[in-house]
Structure formats: C-alpha cells, structure tokens
Structure 1
Amino acid sequence: MELSVLDYSLIIGFFVIVLGIGIYVSKTSGKNTTEYFLSGRNMPWWILGVSMVATTFSTDTPNFVTDIVRKDGVSSNWMWWAFLITGLLTVFVYAKLWRKSNVSTDIEFYELRYGGKPAKFLRGFRAVYLGVVFNVFAMAGVTLAAIKIGGVMLGLQPIETILYAGTITVIFSAIGGFKGVVYTDFLLFFVAMAGAIGAAYYCVNLPEVGGIQNLISHENVADKINIFPDFSNKEILITLIVIPLAVQWWSSWFPGAEPGGGGYIAQRMLAAKDENHAIGATFFFNIMHYALRPWPWILVALASLVVFPDIASIQQAFPNIPADKLGHDLAYSAMLTKLPSGLLGLVLASLVAAYMSTISTHLNWGSSYIVNDFYKQTINKDASERELVNVGRISTVVLMVLSAIFALFLQNASQLFNIIIMFGAGTGLIFILRWFWWRINAWSEISAMVASGVISFLFKLTVVGDILFTHKDLDGTTIEGLMPSYAQFPLVVLITTIIWVAVTFLTQPETEETLFNFYKKIQPGGPGWKKTLADAEEANVEIVTDKQPWNVPSGILAMLVAMIFIYSIMFATGYWIYGDYNYAISLTIVVITSGFILIRLWKKIKANVF
C-alpha cells in the first residue's frame, strides 16, 4: 500500500505537534514528582475525562473487538461491556473517596488504609507487580496491535514498527510527564475519533459491502449482528452474560476497570481539582467508552466478514505477515488498506494517536509506581525531587523496552485479555470492600493476590486445568474435562475469595490508630465501621468530622440509573445504525427518561438530601 504526499503530511504533522506539546510542558512537568505524575492536582474534569477515553482508545482495542466480533458476533462484546458497572460504581461511590485520600498513587493507599510491615510489603510488591509486570503485559498488547497494523498497512517488520512508534512515544512521555500525556490526549482523542468514524463510514460503503442494509443482511454477517447472545445456547449465555454481569465486573482486576477504581483511572481522579471534577471526569469517560465509541470498530469488523471472510483470505491478501501473527484481529488493519488518500493518512494518524495515548499513559502511570512506591520507599528515602523525576524518566524508557520485547512473542489481543482477567480473578471484592469494612487488613490483600495468581497458573498453564476443564487441543480436538470451560473463571474467584476471607479472620485486624486515622481522613461511613466508631468513642477520640448522611445507597441508586442510561444509548445507537427504528425510538425514550432522572438524582446527592 502506497501513501500519498497528503497522507505523509498528516502523519508527520501529527508527530510534530505531539512532540511540540511534550517539549513545551517539559519545563513545568519536571519541577517535582507532583507535577510530573499529577500535574499539580489542578486538572479540570473535561480534560481528564477526555484523557481517560483517549487512553483506552488504544490500537489493540479495535483489533480485539474485530477478533471477537468476527468469531462470535457483536454480542461477544459483553465480556467487556459488563465492566460498565464497575466504572459507574467508581463514578458515584469511589471517585470522591480517592480524591479525599490525597495520595500520590493508588498504591500509596496501602499505607493509608493498613499499617506495619505487611502494608509496606504490599505497597512495594504491588508497585512492581502492577507497575512493571502487568503494565508490561498491557503495553505489549497495544504494541502487538501496532505491529500488526504496521505489517498489514505499511509492510513494516515488527522491529521497525516498534522503533518508529515507540521511540517518539517514549521521548514525549519521558520529557512531558503527566501534563504532556493529558494535553496530548486531548488532541489524540479527536484525531482518533475522526479516524475511527471515517474508516467505518468508508468501509461500510465499499462496493464489495454495498452499504449498511446490504451489510447486515449478508450471509456472513446476518447471524453476527445481535447485541444480545442466543439465550437458548446455555454455554454462550453463561459465558457472555451471566459470568460477566454476575461475577466478572466486581471480582476481577483489569487495567482501566478496577473494582473500586485504581490504576490510571485513579491517577486522573487524584489529579483533579476537587471531588466534583473527579466524578465528572469518570462519568464522561464511561459514557464515551461504552455508549458511543465501540460502534465504528464493530461496523468495520462486520464489513471485514464480507471482504475477508476467513483467515485464509487475509493471508492470501497479505502473504508477508508472519504465521505467528495471523488471526481474525488482522482484519481491522486489512480493511483500512481500502481507504483512499487523505482519509488513509487521517486514519493512520488516528491509529498512531491511539497507540501513543495508551502507551504514554501506561508509561507515566507505571513509572509513578516505581518512583513513588518502590524507589522512594525502599531504595532512597531521602532522594531529592530532581532525582525522583530523573528515575521516573529512566523507568519510562525501561518499561517501553520490556513491553516491546514481550510484544514480539504474542499472537493476538484476546489472548492477553484472558490472561490478565484470570490472574486478577477473585481480588476485586477486596478493592470494593476495603473502604467500607474495618476488618479487611493487609493480609487479606496479600493472600488474595497470591491465591489468584497461583490458582490461575494451575488452571491455565498446567495439567491440572486440562483435567478439570473442557478445552481444545492444538489440533482443534475437544478434550473433555470434569467441568465446562466457562466454570474456570468462577472457580478461581470462589477459591480465592474463600482463602482471603479465611485469612482475614485468622489474622490480626489493623491497629486502632491506623483505623482511626483512615476514618478521620476519608469519612467513609456505613455499617462496616460501627465497631471502629464505637472504639473511638470509648477512647475519647473524635474521628467523625462529616455530619452528612451516608450517601453510598443513593450513589448505588444513581449507578443503576446511569447504567440504564448508558446501556440504552449503546443499544439505541446500534439499532439506529441497523435501521431497526422501533427499538431505536423506544430506547431513545428510555435514554431521555433515565437521563432526566439521573440529573435530578445527582442534584439531590450533591445537596445531601438523601
């Protein structure tokens, strides 16, 4: 595929602007770690919300969506759509708590909530475990997508793609810090959205596809367009609806969708001007992330089934792609090769934007863990701010190199999604409850983290999993186990939960001083702190400073209404696109009604009427 002068101009111009922003903010961002990792805690909701959306608008996401849509249809997206519940719980319950904590990273929270050596160990270990190991996994998935796009659209070798895209990203990330990431995210979001929408419109109207009506009635597509899975198929129903909605959303740790908030979402909440800006940013993110953005990717995925009906057709069209990188996720990049000059340059720039936004966020976020929660705590407690910023910049480069190397050994995005989901299974409930139940201690989290990792390893990568669960052999032969394959995730959650609950009651609770200090700072309220309040009263220690009623129940009600609101937008958008106007109009009415109720409910919450 050949790029025109216009295409090159759009891409080069984009690179120049991004690097210019990084250089422009580098002077202020390098003043200290608060500026480098949180931009002085003075960011408005709208720029933080756009940054969250841009960060999750990564190159691996359209590839991942294409992969699952081509295999199992639009309804397969429920495996990640279910995380909306987690996101909205963060909006209406946890956003203000994070902002109140005033910590520099969500890992620093451990020494606010817990005490003693277990808390110090947990903070340092999680800094490396999440900031390096899991962070490298996530970035490797994004880089793998970039490799596939570079190979299909530009004929680049994997190492070439990594060098071109990774070098520019790591430069502006290292010099610009968090402010550079957020400011460029604002630009990257609009470029990425324009490219995704433009690509979807053009691909659907290719002569081979023939427009939206021909697309959805095509024999390769007609059975893939349903938003909900076939309820008569028990295995699909359990896998795509029951487990994600009943178990997965609250039980599993996943970057960007952590139960109780966390990761780079928490980083942006901590950078907000105040609690209301933190809430506004996360709510805007959830609307854009779930309700509107997936549809351009879904349309390209469906159109690809007409143009490239199977992997063999992709391989035939792109014979230079290595065999270990072939998969249904390549179809997204393959479809983009059909774009005309100008739009092609815009879409390539949008893909570069998506890549840079996600990687730069992960680099800055992971680096903040390494600096604030590992280096400063265990290597050099007396390090100057200048030294810490320099360590942050060095660790940014190291994280980029590690993720690039790991990406060379991966094959597809869904492969990594499943690994991360499994290794975080069973830990999520702790992240939800630790704010509202005094009895949870550092050993609860340590035991859950170890149990989840060990059990997932046994089930996923050893003969134990082969014996327990039905699976497919390398040649595609179905091997019968003692339980169906979909039982694997709930079983990991169940065993992990039993272990950490048992450990919680078998170990000593946190000291009264630790619990008193936490309550006084956060004011979480609720029945889970009754014993702590009674102990404080007995000790004549005043820890209640917020006399307002506990607003978690009203926050959960707002979450449920917002869930109806956002899911209705998502479904209505889909039915408008499909031309199914009866459903579209009905759901649009639900959107307007639930939106009106949500506005009134939010006003009451802010006014503490409940």
Structure 2
Amino acid sequence: MELSTLDYSLIIVFFAIVLGIGIYVSKKSGKSSSEYFLSGRTMPWWLLGLSMVATTFSTDTPNLVTDLVRTNGVSGNWGWWCFLLTGMLTVFVYAKLWRKSNVKTDLEFYELRYGGKAASFLRKFRAIYLGVFFNVITMASVTLAAIKIGGVMLGLEPWETVVAGGLITVIFSALGGFKGVVYSDFLLFFVAMAGAIGAAYYLVNIPEVGGIQAIMENENVKDKLSILPDFSNKKALITMLVIPLAVQWWSSWYPGGEPGGGGYIAQRMLAAKNENHAIGATFFFNIMHYALRPWPWILVALASLVVYPDIASIQQAFPNVVESKLGQDLAYSAMLTKLPSGLLGLVLASLVAAYMSTISTQLNWGSSYIVYDFYKQQINPNATEKQMVNVGRLSTVVLMVLSAFLALALQNAMGVFNLLLSFGAGTGLIFILRWFWWRINAWSEITAMFSSGILAILLETTSLKEILFNPENGVFPEWGELPFIMVITTIIWLTATFVTQPETKDVLRSFYQKIQPGGPGWAKIIEEAKQDNVEIVANDQKWSVPSGIKAMLLGVVLIYTIMFATGYWIYGETNLALTLTGVAAISAFLLIRAWNKMKDHIL
C-alpha cells in the first residue's frame, strides 16, 4: 500500500503537534510529583472526560471489536458492554468518594482504609502487580494491535512498528507527564473520532461492499447483525449475555472497568477540581465510550465479512503477514488498506493517536504506582520531589521496553482480554463493598488477589481446564470458567475476612471521618464511637447511595437505549429506533431530576 505525500504530511503534522505539547508542558510537569502525575488537581470535567475517552480509544479496541463481531456477531460485544454497569456505579456512587479521599494514587487508599503491615504489603505488592505486571500485559496488547496495523497497512516488520511507535510515545510520555497526556488527549479524541467515522462511512460504501443494505443481505453477515444473542441458543445466551450482566461486571477487575473505580479512571477523578467535576468527567466518558463510539468499528467489522469472509482470505490478500499474527482481528486493518489518499492519512494518524493516548496513559499511571506506592514507600521514604519525577521518567521508559518485548510474543487481542478477566474474577465485589462494609480488611484483598490469579494460571497452564469444562464430559458447563473462579475466590476471601482480625478502631474511625461513606455497613463503628464519646459523623444528611443507585440505573437505561437506537437507525429499523429514542429521552429527563436531587449530598 502506497502512502501519498498528503498522507505523510497529516501523520508528520500530528506527530509534531503531540511532541510539541509534551515539550511545552515538560517544565511545569517536572516541578513536582503532584504536577507530573495529577497536574496539581486542577483539571475540569470536560477535559478529563475527553481524556478518558481518548485513552480507551486504543489501537487494540477496534481490533477486539472486529474479532468479537466476526466470531460471535454484534452481540459478542456484551463481553465489554456489560462494564457500563460498573461505569455508572462509579459515576453516581464512587466518583465523589475517590475525590474526597484526596489520595495521590488509588493504591494509597489501602493505607487509608486498612492498617498495619498487611496494608503496607498490599499497597507495595499491588504497585508491582498492577503497575508493572498487569500494565505491561495491557500495553503489550495495545502494541500487538499496532504491529498488526503496521504489518498490513505499511508492510512493516513487528520490530519496526514497536520501535517507531514506542520511541515517540515514550519520549512524549516521559517529558510531559499527566498534563501532557491530558492536553494531547484533547487533540487525539477529535482525530481518532474523525478517523473512525470517516473510515466506516467510506468502507461501507466501497463497490466490494455495496452499502449498508448490501451488508445486511449478505449471507456472511445475516446471522451477525443482532444486538442481542439468539435466545434459542442456550450456550450463546449464557456466555454472551447472562454471565456478563449477572456476574462479570461486578466480579471482575479489568483495566478501565474496575468495580468501584480504580486505575487510570481513578487517576483522572483524583486530578479533578472537585467532586462534581470528577462525577461529570466519568459520566461524559461512559456516554461516549458505550453509546456512540462502538458503531463505526462494528460497521467496518461487518463490512469486512463481505470482503474477507474468513482468515484464509485475509492471509491470501496479505501473504507477507507472519502466521503467528493472523487472526480475525486482522480484518480491521485489512479493510483500512482500501481507503483513499487523505482519508488514509487521517485514519493512520487517528490510529497513531489512539495508540499514543492509551500507552501514554498506561505509562504515566503505572509509573505513579512505582513512584508513590513502591519507591517512596519501600526504597526511599525521604525522596525529594525531583527524585520522584526522575524515577517516574525512568520507570516510564522501562515499562515501555518490557511491553514492547511482550507484544512481539503475543498473537491475539481477545485472548489477552479473556486472560485479564480471569485474573481479576472474584475480586470486584471487594472493591465495591470495601467503602461500605467495615469488616473487610487487608487480608480480604490479599487472599482474593492471589486466589483468582493462581486459579487463572492453573486453568491456563494445566489440564485442569480440560477436566472441569470439557463440553463433552466436563464437571461443569463449558461456559462455567469465569463463574467458577468467581465463586471459589469469593468463598476464599470471605473466609479469610472472618478468620482474621478486623481493622483497628482508630483506622476505621479515621477512614469514616474523612470519607463519610454512610450506610448500614458502618452502623457498628458509628455506635461504638458514640459510646466512646467520639464523633465521626460529620453531618445528618441522608445516605446518598440509594439515590445514587437509582441514578445509576437510569444512566444505564439511557446509554443502552442510545446505543441500541443508534444501531437500529443504521439498520433502517425505524419503528424500533424511534421507540428506543423515546425511552432514551424519558430516561434522560428522569436522570436529570435524580441528579438535581443528588447535588445536595455532593456539594
């Protein structure tokens, strides 16, 4: 595929602007660790919201969506659509709690909520576990997608893509810190959206595809169009809808979809001006992430089934792609090779934007864990601000190198997605309850983390999975792996909770006094404090969580109906689209009323 001068110009201008932003903010970002990792906690909701959207607009996301659609149809996306419930819970319940905590990282929360050596160990261990191990896997998955795009669209060897993309990104990230990431995300969002929408519109209408009506009538596509799985297919219904909505969204920890908030989403909430800005940012993110953005990717994936009905056809069209990188997800990149000059440059720039946004966020977030939660806690408690910034920049480079090497060994984005879900299965309930139930302690989290990880490794590396979940004669149904890990992990951490000592009164009272979480889960602590003449309740306001859950449910209805309505408008099913649009309007009205009532609890 030949790039024109216009294509190269668009990509070069984009690179120059992004690097310019990094250099421009580098001096201020390097003044202190708070500036480098949180931009001084002065960010407005709209900028943080756009940054969240840009960050999750990764090179591996369209590849993953393409893989899901080509393998299981549009309904296969429920594997990640289910995390909207987590997102809405974060918006209306947890965002204000995170901002109120005033911690520098979400791991610092551990020594706010728990005490003693167990809390200290948990904070330091998860700094490495999440900041390095999980982070490197996530970045490797993103880089794998970049490798596939570079191989198909530009004929690049895997190492060439890794060096070219990684070098520019790591320089920008190390220089600009969090402020550089957020400022550039503002640009990256618009470039990425323009590229995705432009590519979808053009590719659906190329002669080989023939437009949306031709796609819907094509034999390779007909059975892939439904937004909901086939209810007569028990296995598909359970694996693609029931488990995600009944179990996965609250039980699994997944980057960007953490139950109770966490990771780089928490980092942005902590950088907000105040609690209302934290809530506004996360709400805006969820609307864009779920309601509108998936459809351009889905349309390209459906169009790809017309042009490349199977992997063999992709391999025939692109014989230079190494066999280890072949997969259904490659179809997205294959379709993009058909774009005309100018639009091709814009789309390539948008993919570069998506890659840089995600990787720079992961690098800054992971580096913040290494600096605040490991280096300062374990190695140098008296570290100066300059030393912490320098360690942050060094760890940024190291994380990038590690992820690059791992990316060269990976093959499939969906495999990484499923592995991460398994590793976090059963831990999510703790992240939801720890704010509202005093009895959860550091050992609850430690045992949950280790048990889910060990179970996931055993199932992937031994014959245990074959014995337990064999479709022919397994002990459990084939779809039972995630629920199995969740149930066993939950039993283990609940047992550990009740056989170990609770946190001390001082720790629990201090946490309640600072956060004011409210609810029946703290009644015992409040009553004991009153008996000791210690006042830990700051005001007599009504507990806001019930109204927060009501707003959450309305938000879920609003965003799902917008998402479905968008799809049905595209499909040309006008009556159904109109009905869903009406439901969306009603839920929006009710949500605004609920939100106005909630403001009294937040201000």
Letter of the structure 2 residue corresponding to residue 415 of structure 1:
G
Task: Give the match for residue 410 of structure 1.
Answer: 410
Task: Give the match for residue 481 of structure 2.
Answer: 488
Task: Give the match for residue 517 of structure 1.
Answer: 510
Q: Give the 5 Å matches for 1:195-274.
A: 195-274=195-274
Q: Give the 5 Å matches for 1:110-189.
A: 110-189=110-189
CA distance in 2, matches of 1:545, 1:198: 53
Q: Give the 5 Å matches for 1:519-558.
A: 519-558=512-551
Matched, 1:369 2:369: yes
CA distance in 2, matches of 1:463, 1:573: 44
Distance change >3 Å, CA 149–CA 480, structure 1 → 2: farther
Task: Give the match for residue 505 of structure 1.
Answer: 498
Q: Give the 5 Å matches for 1:12-31.
A: 12-31=12-31
Matched, 1:596 2:596: no
CA distance in 2, matches of 1:378, 1:457: 28
Matched, 1:49 2:49: yes
Letter of the structure 1 residue corresponding to residue 205 of structure 2:
N
CA distance in 1, matches of 2:45, 2:109: 22
Shift of 1:470: 1.6
Task: Give the match for residue 474 of structure 1.
Answer: none
Shift of 1:485: 1.8
Shift of 1:482: 2.2
CA distance in 1, matches of 2:264, 2:461: 29
Aligned residues with identical type, % of pairs: 74
CA distance in 2, matches of 1:216, 1:197: 19
- After TM superposition, where is structure 1 displaced by more than 6 Å over at least 4 residues in a row? none
Shift of 1:608: 4.5
Root-mean-square deviation (CA, aligned residues, Å) is: 0.8
CA distance in 2, matches of 1:467, 1:226: 33
SS in 2 for 1:256: coil
Matched, 1:393 2:393: yes
CA distance in 2, matches of 1:583, 1:497: 41
Matched, 1:293 2:293: yes
CA distance in 1, matches of 2:476, 2:489: 18
Task: Give the match for residue 427 of structure 1.
Answer: 427
SS in 2 for 1:273: coil
CA distance in 2, matches of 1:450, 1:64: 28
Letter of the structure 2 residue corresponding to residue 406 of structure 1:
L
CA distance in 1, matches of 2:275, 2:601: 15
Letter of the structure 1 residue corresponding to residue 487 of structure 2:
L
CA distance in 2, matches of 1:216, 1:462: 42
Deviations 1:409-437 (A, max 9, x none): 11110000010000000000000000000
CA distance in 1, matches of 2:478, 2:502: 37
Task: Give the match for residue 352 of structure 1.
Answer: 352
Matched, 1:567 2:572: no
Shift of 1:397: 0.2
Task: Give the match for residue 275 of structure 2.
Answer: 275
CA distance in 2, matches of 1:585, 1:445: 46
CA distance in 1, matches of 2:22, 2:401: 20
Shift of 1:481: 2.2
Deviations 1:280-312 (A, max 9, x none): 000000000000000000000000000111101
Structure 1: where are the runs of 5+ without partners?
472-478
CA distance in 2, matches of 1:195, 1:456: 37
Shift of 1:446: 0.3
Task: Report the number of matched residues.
Answer: 602
CA distance in 1, matches of 2:566, 2:339: 24
Matched, 1:2 2:11: no
Deviations 1:180-238 (A, max 9, x none): 00000010000000000000000000101111111111111111000000001111100
Matched, 1:308 2:308: yes
CA distance in 2, matches of 1:233, 1:450: 35
CA distance in 2, matches of 1:518, 1:74: 44
Distance change >3 Å, CA 246–CA 375, structure 1 → 2: same
CA distance in 2, matches of 1:149, 1:352: 10
Shift of 1:480: 4.0
Letter of the structure 2 residue corresponding to residue 347 of structure 1:
V
CA distance in 2, matches of 1:396, 1:259: 26
SS in 2 for 1:104: coil
Deviations 1:118-148 (A, max 9, x none): 0000000000000000000000000000000
Letter of the structure 2 residue corresponding to residue 325 of structure 1:
K
SS in 2 for 1:299: helix
Task: Give the match for residue 85 of structure 1.
Answer: 85
Letter of the structure 2 residue corresponding to residue 333 of structure 1:
S
Shift of 1:484: 2.0
Letter of the structure 1 residue corresponding to residue 409 of structure 2:
F
Letter of the structure 1 residue corresponding to residue 570 of structure 2:
I
Letter of the structure 1 residue corresponding to residue 291 of structure 2:
A
Matched, 1:606 2:599: yes
Deviations 1:437-466 (A, max 9, x none): 000000000010011111112222211111
CA distance in 1, matches of 2:197, 2:216: 18
Shift of 1:607: 2.9
CA distance in 1, matches of 2:539, 2:424: 34
Letter of the structure 1 residue corresponding to residue 507 of structure 2:
T
SS in 1 for 2:210: coil
